[in-house]
């Protein structure tokens, strides 16, 4: 399925400003300002400096939240976004309630205690983000994430992403029944998205903590789509015609 | 959600010819002609006499199949439809390959051997059919059945029906994850259907065979819908206004 740009101008704008460049600028700016996020339940709050507000919005990290403070714009980052900025991009630090900076091991422990399937979701999130996909929550489509080629203002999301793992009880109940497959594919079709199943496997389990153990998880990408016998017949006819 | 009739004339036609009356006429006609269906894999084939063809179509049992025979119209009934006509409506008999009529016990054994979760699906099918809902397969919406107030030519289906049971491995993998709930509800919403979950419970398990043991299964009906806080607030305001 081709990307569905929101107009010609949107496509041109996206091509002139790749996400990778925007994320790089955000990364530099956050390192320069020595940004610290604050753990708060299942999210991390981070105060953006004026020049960072636009970069956060353009790179699609977190969502702006309204506070009484007039001179600061706070962003609420999901646990996946925060750990990605902290341990992969290495451009923010995260503190706990005691205002001490938490190291990667401590963050990993905290986040897995909040969300038992965090390692799988985080691995999937990183897998897509490092390829410069914009990754947002997918709950409105009944999936874990949706992936955009560029900013959601410029393009519709292309992939509805389900994260599965055989090892985790929370993650292995999806797509076990045909009716669930039918439901998911029908919904993906009706909103013009491709179903991308990221199957997370544990390559090694030596109790290693820290997000450095990300490398011990593998990712298998599977695109799931309906097989259209009519289309296949036509394709065959096309091939035959080309051969003639 | 109100029934979505396919035009004013459709509604008037449906009201003038209730499904219960059409099914009764089909029942009488099939009894009169001493109709026999033939087990064939996961379906039952039945030859309809000329006056029955229209009744089968109107009552929405089976689907007509094309054969080389010019004087007979064959209908392919699902296992649920066949057993319903045979053991609940008592208007057809079903024979096996040896052309011997199978009794209810034998049919029940055959059908559960073909579909391990047949008892649950059949209980759900009967539950809706005896209330004069037209019940068709729901696979295109990722559910077990869809239920129509009248013939699908006159009205859109109102319910997407999922049949669940805690006792059966095949049936208890749906709606276990929030993402599945979200997916199913979003899809139901987009096709203007209400999600009806029929939870089948076993009241007694004494190894009884035969569809007479249908009475040992209970049905809990659950409508699942999104809670819309905005709507609730408005309703509250309306109530307050009425009280003023």
Asked if the Cβ–Cβ distance from B173 to A170 is below 8 Å, we say no
Residue B170 has pLDDT above 90, yes or no: no
Residue B138 has pLDDT above 90, yes or no: yes
Catalytic residue status for A182: no
Residue A53 has pLDDT above 70, yes or no: yes
Report, as residue numbers or ranges, the catalytic residues of B: 148, 156, 193
B176 contacts on A by Cβ (under 8 Å)? 173
Find the CB nearest A144 among B144, B179, B185. B179
Cβ-defined contacts of A29-36 (< 8 Å, 24+): A29/A55, A30/A85, A30/A89, A30/A91, A30/A92, A31/A90, A31/A91, A34/A93, A35/A91, A35/A92, A35/A93, A36/A92, A36/A93, A36/A94, A36/A95, A36/A101
Name the token pair of B159: 């319910």
- The answer to whether the CB of B192 falls within 8 A of the CB of B3 is no
pLDDT tens by residue, A149-181: 999 999 999 999 999 997 777 788 899 999 999
B72: which residues sit within 8 A by CB, 6+ positions away? B47, B48
B177 contacts on A by Cβ (under 8 Å)? 170, 173-174
* pLDDT for position B244: 42
**How far apart are the C-alpha atoms of A31 and A20, rounded to whole Å?**
16
Interface of A with B in 150-179 (CB under 8 A): 162, 170, 173-174, 176-179
- CB contact, 8 Å: A226 with chain B? no
A28 alpha carbon, distance to own chain's centre:
21
- pTM of this structure: 0.87
| Separation in Å, CA of A187 to nearest CA in chain B | 6
- CB contact, 8 Å: B226 with chain A? no
**How far apart are the C-alpha atoms of B32 and A135, rounded to whole Å?**
64
Interface of B with A in 184-223 (CB under 8 A): 184-187, 190
- The answer to whether the CB of B102 falls within 8 A of the CB of B95 is yes
- The whole-number average pLDDT for the span B174-190 is 94
A138 contacts on B by Cβ (under 8 Å)? 179
What chain A residue is nearest to B144 in terms of C-alpha separation?
Answer: A179
* pLDDT for position A151: 97
**How far apart are the C-alpha atoms of B209 and B218, rounded to whole Å?**
16
Pairing mode, strands B93-95 and B36-40: parallel
Please state at what angle helix A50-59 crosses helix A19-32, rounded to 10 degrees.
150
Residue A236 has pLDDT above 70, yes or no: no
Catalytic residue status for A148: yes
CA-wise closest residue to B118 among B78, B64, B61, B173: B78
Please report the ipTM that was assigned to this predicted complex: 0.85
Radius of gyration for chain B, computed over Cα atoms and rounded to the nearest angstrom: 20
Biggest CA pair distance of chain B? 76
Residue A213 has pLDDT above 70, yes or no: no
What's the pLDDT band for B166 if we cut at 50, 70, 90? confident
Asked if the Cβ–Cβ distance from B182 to A142 is below 8 Å, we say yes
């Amino acid at each position: 399925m081709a990307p569905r740009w929101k107009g010609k101008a949107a496509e041109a704008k996206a091509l002139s400003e790749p996400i990778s460049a925007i994320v790089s600028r955000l990364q530099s700016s956050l390192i320069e300002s020595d940004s610290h996020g604050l753990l708060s339940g299942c999210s991390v709050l981070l105060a953006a400096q004026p020049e960072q507000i636009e970069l956060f919005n353009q790179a699609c990290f977190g969502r702006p939240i309204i506070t009484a403070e007039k001179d600061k714009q706070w962003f609420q980052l999901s646990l996946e976004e925060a750990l990605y900025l902290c341990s992969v991009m290495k451009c923010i630090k995260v503190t706990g309630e005691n205002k001490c900076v938490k190291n990667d091991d401590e963050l990993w422990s905290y986040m897995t205690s909040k969300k038992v399937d965090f390692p799988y979701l985080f691995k999937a999130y990183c897998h897509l983000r490092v390829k410069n996909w914009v990754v947002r929550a997918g709950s409105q489509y009944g999936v874990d994430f949706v992936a955009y080629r560029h900013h959601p203002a410029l393009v519709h999301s292309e992939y509805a992403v389900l994260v599965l793992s055989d090892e985790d009880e929370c993650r292995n109940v999806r797509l076990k029944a045909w009716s669930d497959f039918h439901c998911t594919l029908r919904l993906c079709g009706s909103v013009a998205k491709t179903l991308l199943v990221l199957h997370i496997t544990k390559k090694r389990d030596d109790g290693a903590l820290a997000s450095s153990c990300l490398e011990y998880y593998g990712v298998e990408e599977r695109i799931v789509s309906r097989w259209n016998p009519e289309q296949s017949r036509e394709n065959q006819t096309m091939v035959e015609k080309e051969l003639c």
